[in-house]
Amino acid sequence: MNKEEILAKAEVELKLRGCSELTVRNYLWFINRFLSETDKKIEELEEEDVKAYLARLVDTKARATLSLAASSLRFFFSQVLKKQITVNLPKKEKKLPEVLTKEEVDRIIKAAETEKSELMIRMLYYTGLRVSELVNLKREDIDLEKGICLVKGKGNKERQVFLPKKLKEKLKVFFEKHPDYVYVFSRDKPLTPRNVQKILKRIAKKLEIKKKVTPHKLRHSFATHLLESGVNIRTIQALLGHENLQTTQIYTKVTDELYKKAMEKIEELERV
């Protein structure tokens, strides 16, 4: 089996497991790079080859990149080559995520240059969406009457998030102006996450905010501000669609009442 055939097989395995387009693209990229840097036949590849490849990345790549490369190759060996490997990376130092203050978020929203930019920032902060979820959100996923949004997250897992009052009103006006949009913020195909990242970077520079302002930082800020307001941490995990939600649900079930209380707190966050 040649490289093109083995990559095609890896893509099939990834898609059958419900992996997102981004995950499929990232995994295939690392698998392709790994295969391109070896002189061995595919069937002769073993654990030591993976370790040697990852060792070459240690000094030049960020910890998150290294972790993604390792995950990609673990998947490739176990699910495609049907070989088990053990690759242990140095444990990442745990740091509390840096968040924006409520005042900083308000300034960022007000500084948005366009109606669309403002709405995207509001959606990121008031719903806690990942940027990939935001750009892939379709009009049909939003129920303005009920004030809810159905989000397809990592591994195609669906969850429900709330739309506070002002956000609902602004979305309604925006939809009326763009009746031909299939996606919430674009017509025929989703925006790229990079589009959103550039908008936030430009605003942060204009406002002279020293913190690195990213879509994910808005997500962290949403969660932190809710937690500070007294919202149950299990509810926040459900709203964010964290990977370990299934584990935590064994111990704590998120009730409708908890969701209702969370909605009230989200409304309180909507200051501008």
Q: Which domains does the chain have, with CATH numbers?
A: 3-80 (1.10.150.130), 102-269 (1.10.443.10)
CA distance 219 to 124: 6
Sign of CA dihedral 36, 37, 40, 44: negative
* Percent of the chain surpassing pLDDT 90: 62
Quick: pLDDT tens for 181-216: 999 999 999 999 999 999 999 999 999 999 999 999
- What pLDDT, on a 0 to 100 scale, did the predictor assign at position 131? 94
pLDDT, tens only, 98-109? 889 999 999 999
Annotated catalytic residues are 130, 154, 216, 219, 242, 251
Residue 226 confidence (pLDDT): 87
Look-up of token digits 């690195």: 212
Q: How many CB atoms lie within 10 A of CB 121?
A: 24
Helices 102-110 and 115-127: crossing angle in degrees, nearest 10, is 160
Contacts of 144 (CB under 8 A, 6+ apart): 163, 168, 171, 172, 175
Per the listing, tokens 């995207």 go with 120
Cβ neighbours of 3 (radius 10 Å): 12
Mean pLDDT of 77-84: 93
124 and 133 Cβ atoms separated by less than 8 Å: no
User: How many C-beta atoms surround the C-beta of residue 64 within 10 A?
Assistant: 9
* Amino acid (one-letter) located at 96: L
Does 110 have pLDDT greater than 80? Answer: yes
Q: How confident is the model at residue 92 (pLDDT cuts 50, 70, 90)?
A: low
**What are the pLDDT digits (tens) for 123-163?**
999 999 999 999 999 999 999 999 999 998 777 778 899 99
In this predicted model, what pLDDT tens digit does every residue of 23-51 receive, in sequence order? 899 999 999 999 999 889 998 999 999 99
State the Cα–Cα distance between residues 269 and 262, nearest whole angstrom: 11
Residue 79 has pLDDT above 60, yes or no: yes
User: How many other C-beta atoms are found inside a 10 Å radius of the C-beta of residue 84?
Assistant: 9
Assess whether pLDDT exceeds 70 at residue 247. Answer: no
Confidence of residue 88 (pLDDT cuts 50, 70, 90): confident
Q: What is the residue-wise DSSP string for the chain?
A: --HHHHHHHHHHHHHHTT--HHHHHHHHHHHHHHHHT--S-GGG--HHHHHHHHHHHTTTS-HHHHHHHHHHHHHIIIIIS-------PPPPPP-PPP---HHHHHHHHHT-SSHHHHHHHHHHHHH---HHHHHT-BGGGEETTTTEEEEE-GGG-EEEEE--HHHHHHHHHHHHH-TT-SBSS-SSSPPPHHHHHHHHHHHHHHHT--S---HHHHHHHHHHHHHHTT--HHHHHHHHT-TTHHHHHTT-PPPHHHHHHHHHHHHHH---
